[in-house]
Chains A and B, each alone.
Chain A
Amino acid sequence: EVKLVQSGAEVKKPGESLKISCKGSGYNFNTYWVGWVRQMPGKGLEWMGIIYPGDFDTRYSRSFRGQVTISVEKSISTAYLQWNSLKASDTGMYFCARAPTSTSHPKHFDSWGQGTLVTVST
């Protein structure tokens, strides 16, 4: 069974750093893209970026480039989303999701993690 299991909820202060994780199992982690999607409270889905563990090819939405870092640790089948300096506006639910690949191009998200709630507040 394909599973993506995300790390637990976080409460942080503005300016703090944070790294959340997404562990894949039940499939060859290196041959599927892993993407991150933000959902702010009461709002829709925003595509943040995606990484291919096989060759570390990483693509970001312009809105998130420079604001977050997406990485992977292949040896433990885990993807990460990292902030160096959180803002209150980073508050939201963050989902990881798996995407099949087609000639080095990510496709639709066919499996999703349960989400990690990040709250940034003084």
Chain B
Amino acid sequence: DIVMTQSPDSLAVSLGERATINCKSSQNILYSLNHNNYLAWYQQRPGQAPRLLIYWASTRESGVPDRFSGSGSGTDFTLTISSLQAEDVAVYYCQQYYSTPHTFGQGTKVEIK
């Protein structure tokens, strides 16, 4: 199974400041035939179901604010929140869908400083 490791486990950021979350896969999840990275990011607010933010490592889901962006390739990926808002307090998960089981990272909790 592919292991997904996120860092840090938690971070506290001031309102309006940048938050950066890293995700590393134990195997390459870039598919050479289509040049796509099989990596998604989800947001889970307290008491809610997860919500898709980013797929193919950098494609923003419809309706997701443009302060959220994804980058990276191969085994190393990043989710950036460019200007943290109060409603962004949540746990963020990366997930690989390159091969089943489609494993998740352990999650990163984002709070307001």
Contact status of A45 and B97, CB under 8 A, knowing A109-B52, A112-B49? no
Task: Say which size band chain B's interface belongs to.
Answer: 20 to 34
Chain A contact surface mostly: strand
Assess whether A114 is interfacial by the CB under 8 Å rule.
yes
Which residues of chain A from 98 to 122 have a CB within 8 Å of any chain B CB? 99, 106-115
Q: With contacts A45-B107, A62-B1 known, is A110 near B52, CB below 8 A?
A: yes
B51 at the interface (CB under 8 A from A): yes
Chain A: CB-nearest residue to B54: A108
Q: Which of A44, A111, A112 contacts B104 (CB 8 A)?
A: A44
Residues of B within 8 A of A (CB): 1, 38, 40, 42, 44, 49-52, 55, 61, 91, 93, 95, 97, 100-107
A–B complex contacts, Cβ < 8 Å, 22 sampled: A37-B50, A44-B104, A45-B42, A45-B93, A45-B95, A45-B104, A47-B95, A47-B102, A60-B101, A61-B100, A62-B101, A95-B50, A99-B97, A107-B55, A107-B97, A108-B52, A109-B42, A109-B50, A110-B52, A113-B49, A114-B49, A115-B49
